[in-house]
Amino acid sequence: MHAELLDISPVVTDGEWAEEWSDRLEDLLVEVGYVFPRWELRRRAADCIRGLLAPLSRKNGWQLAEYAGEATPWGQQHLLDRSRWDVDALRDFTRRYVIDGLADDGEGAGPGGCGVLVVDETGFAKRGDASAAVAREYSGTLGGVFPCQIGVMAAWATGAGQALIDRELYMPREWTGDRTRCRAAHIPDEVGFQTKPRLAEKMIKRALPDLPAGRIWVAADEVYGRDSAFRAFLEAHRLPYAVAVQANQTILARPGWRHASRLVERCAREEDWLTLPAGPSQLGSRMWQWWVRRIPDPDTEIGNGEWARWLIARRRPDPAGRARLLPGLGPADTPVEELVTVPGARWRVEEAIKLAKSACGLADYEVRSFHGWYRHITLTQLAAAFLAVQDATTLRAHGPARSQRFAQDPAAAAPAHTGGSR
């Protein structure tokens, strides 16, 4: 047993349970070892993941090396830079690990109890202009326009929890139009400009073969919802969705149905607003007011009448509150109580990103190369996935009192081991 590896005594006081977490981590490291073809790489990767779960102030190469008992960061730098291993195989392993580990036997985060795929982006502040894809971009995470890299993230959310399962680095046009600059950052020539919705489509398509049978929904904010091609992609793959749009979004090219906000203003009476929770969340159940209107759509060819379109409006429990607008599409028999949990699940990707950043060092990397970014982010996603899956296991075995710790203090999830490889 490796009780010293994962000291979670501030939250789980049962020493035997802490040992079980430690053993599960070691089992996971053995299971994922096939991704790294050489023994030395497997050892370095295991050290890296242990360090990402450690109570370190930062999770950069120097601190990860010191935590592993090494004198220099060269080994960790080699893992992220020059070594040969398949980062996409690690991505696929993490996705399957999360989907299996967060399987929910009760009501899920979305209608049907299967789960919700959520996409969102997050910013990584950077200095200088050498890091792959760094540019002055708006980032809600950073609170404005800053030199940063933008990562588009996909999360899987169920009633058991949520975790990141995929990632793509957004490449601004100023980069893709300068092949010399791209090659200096080791960006392959075949990598061109793609909008954030196109990157989200790639991640959703990759996830489809691993998703459980049943009704799977997609949730996203305005960056993706306002993109008609993104919504068409979801419909082509028969994926139900509820995505945010702007107030002037065209709902249908028919008089009286053109703008979402006008439809709400004209049709939503005060007595029609329902007060319902937005679905389970580690930050607690949020109560909102909802207005749902089914939209006639004679042109839809999905499901031979078994599918329906809705306009969903959400506001705080205040008649003067500004409503958030979300077009939705899904099985026609979806109850309103279930339908509203889909946009409610959008917060879950933010919680998953917050956990990965605060507990596992998602933003602590110092690599500049294109492939180095993918390697660090993917290793971090696996570390955060371990916490999420074990949190779900704790919830099943011991109840919610012990499963809320990541929301309260993500750093409490960190191990206290101070040695090297095992």
- What is the tens place of the pLDDT at every residue in 27-65? 999 999 999 999 999 999 999 999 999 889 999 999 999
Residue 403's pLDDT is what?
52
Q: Which two tokens stand for residue 182?
A: 């791209």
348, containing H or E segment: helix 347-360
Looking at residue 17, its pLDDT comes to: 58
Class of residue 362 by CB neighbours under 10 A (exposed 0-12, middle 13-18, buried 19+): buried
CA dihedral 408, 119, 293, 337 (to 10 degrees): -40
Q: What pLDDT is attached to residue 296?
A: 77
The pLDDT value given to residue 3: 34
Which SS3 state, helix, strand or coil, does residue 157 take? strand
Is 4 exposed, middle or buried (CB count within 10 Å of its CB: 0-12, 13-18, 19+)? middle
pLDDT for the residue numbered 59: 94
DSSP state for residue 238 in the 8-state scheme: T
Nearest-angstrom CA–CA distance, 97 and 102:
8
pLDDT at residue 399, rounded to an integer: 66
Q: Is 406 left (phi over 0), alpha (psi -120 to 50) or beta?
A: alpha
- Which residues partner with 118 through β-bridges? 155, 219
Interatomic CA distance for residues 369 and 362, integer angstroms: 16
Q: What's the one-letter identity of residue 142?
A: L
Rounded distance, CA 274 to CA 276, Å?
Answer: 6
Mean pLDDT (10-residue bins), the chain, 422 residues: 38 55 91 96 96 92 92 93 96 98 67 81 94 94 92 95 97 96 96 98 97 90 95 94 88 69 82 80 67 76 74 81 85 87 89 95 95 98 96 76 46 39 38
pTM over cut 0.75: yes
pLDDT of 205:
98
